[in-house]
Structure 1
Amino acid sequence: MRYIKPGYYDDFVCIAGACPATCCAGWQIVIDEESLQTYGNVQGEFGRRLRNSIDWMEGCFYQYDRRCAFLNEENLCDLYRELGPKGLCATCSMYPRHVEEFEDLRELSLTLSCPEAARMILSCREKAEFITWETEEEDEFEDFDFFLFTLLSDARDVIFQILTDREKDLRIRMREVLFLAEDFQACIDREEFFAIDQVIEKYRHPTGAEIEKEGRYARRKQEFSVFRKLERLRSEWGTLLSDAWKNLYENGEEHYLELCGEFERSFGYESSVRGEWERMGEQLMVFFVYTYFCGAVYDDAVYSKMALAVFSTEWIQEFVMLVWLKKGKKLEFQDVVETAYRYAREVEHSDMNLEVLERWLEEHKT
Structure 2
Amino acid sequence: MRKAEIQVNYPHYYKNFSCIGGACPATCCAGWNISIDDRSLNVYKKAGGAFGSRLRSAVDFQHARFKSESGRCPLLDGQGLCDIYNHLGKAHMCRTCRTYPRHMEDYGNVHEVMLSLSCPQAARLILLDSRPFSLHSGVKVYRLSNRQARQAGPVPGMAHVFWVRSRLFHMLYDEKYLLPVRLKRMLRSFSGEDHWLEEWLSPNAFNKAHMARRLAMLFSLTPVCDGWEEFLEQSVDILNASSNTPEAQSSFLKGCAKQDYLFVNVAAHYLYMYFAGAVYDRDMAGKVRLMVFHVCTLSALSYARWLMGRPLEEALVDSAWIYSRQVDHEDVNLQALEMILKQ
TM-score, normalised to structure 1's length?
A: 0.82
> What's the offset of the Cα at 1:335?
2.5
Aligned equivalents of 1:105, 1:219: Cα separation in 2: 41
> What's the offset of the Cα at 1:309?
0.7
Aligned equivalents of 1:136, 1:333: Cα separation in 2: 39
Aligned equivalents of 1:144, 1:132: Cα separation in 2: 16
Q: Does 1:146 align with 2:132?
A: no
> What's the offset of the Cα at 1:79?
1.0
Consecutive unaligned residues in structure 1, runs of 5 or more: 185-210
Matched-pair contact (CA < 8 Å) for 2:14–2:114: yes
Aligned equivalents of 1:344, 1:135: Cα separation in 2: 29
Aligned pairs (5 A) from 1:303-322: 303-322=285-304
Q: Which residue of 2 aligns with 1:189?
A: none
Aligned equivalents of 1:55, 1:166: Cα separation in 2: 52
Deviations 1:201-250 (A, max 9, x none): xxxxxxxxxx6335765654443332122001234221222223333248
Residue among 246, 249, 254 paired with 1:263: 249
Q: Which residue of 1 aligns with 2:277?
A: 295
Question: Once superposed, what is the RMSD of the aligned Cα atoms?
Answer: 2.3
Give aligned-pair identity as a percent.
30
Aligned equivalents of 1:280, 1:332: Cα separation in 2: 9
Q: Which residue of 2 aligns with 1:59?
A: 64
Matched-pair contact (CA < 8 Å) for 2:263–2:295: yes
Q: Does 1:212 align with 2:222?
A: no
**Across the two proteins, how many residue pairs are aligned to each other?**
325
Matched-pair contact (CA < 8 Å) for 2:44–2:55: yes
Consecutive unaligned residues in structure 2, runs of 5 or more: 1-5, 194-200
**Cα 1:362–1:73, aligned 2, differ >3 Å: closer, same or farther?**
same
**Cα 1:274–1:215, aligned 2, differ >3 Å: closer, same or farther?**
closer
Matched-pair contact (CA < 8 Å) for 1:304–1:359: no
Aligned equivalents of 2:29, 2:236: Cα separation in 1: 30
Q: Which residue of 1 aligns with 2:220?
A: 229
**Cα 1:100–1:181, aligned 2, differ >3 Å: closer, same or farther?**
farther
Q: Which amino acid aligns with 1:115?
A: P
Q: Which residue of 2 aligns with 1:241?
A: 232
Residue among 175, 178, 182 paired with 2:187: 178
2:282 aligned counterpart, secondary structure: coil
Q: Which residue of 2 aligns with 1:164?
A: 173
Aligned pairs (5 A) from 1:10-89: 10-89=15-94
Q: Which residue of 2 aligns with 1:126?
A: 131
Aligned equivalents of 1:310, 1:32: Cα separation in 2: 33
Residue among 108, 111, 116 paired with 1:111: 116
Q: Which residue of 1 aligns with 2:264?
A: 282
Aligned equivalents of 2:205, 2:174: Cα separation in 1: 26
Deviations 1:125-155 (A, max 9, x none): 11111111224447333998612x3222111
Aligned equivalents of 2:159, 2:55: Cα separation in 1: 46
Residue among 307, 322, 325 paired with 1:325: 307
Aligned equivalents of 1:216, 1:334: Cα separation in 2: 19
> What's the offset of the Cα at 1:31?
0.8
Residue among 309, 323, 334 paired with 1:354: 334
Deviations 1:234-271 (A, max 9, x none): 342212222233332488xxx86x34x42332x43x24
> What's the offset of the Cα at 1:87?
1.3
Q: Which residue of 2 aligns with 1:187?
A: none
Q: Which residue of 2 aligns with 1:336?
A: 316
**Cα 1:52–1:24, aligned 2, differ >3 Å: closer, same or farther?**
same
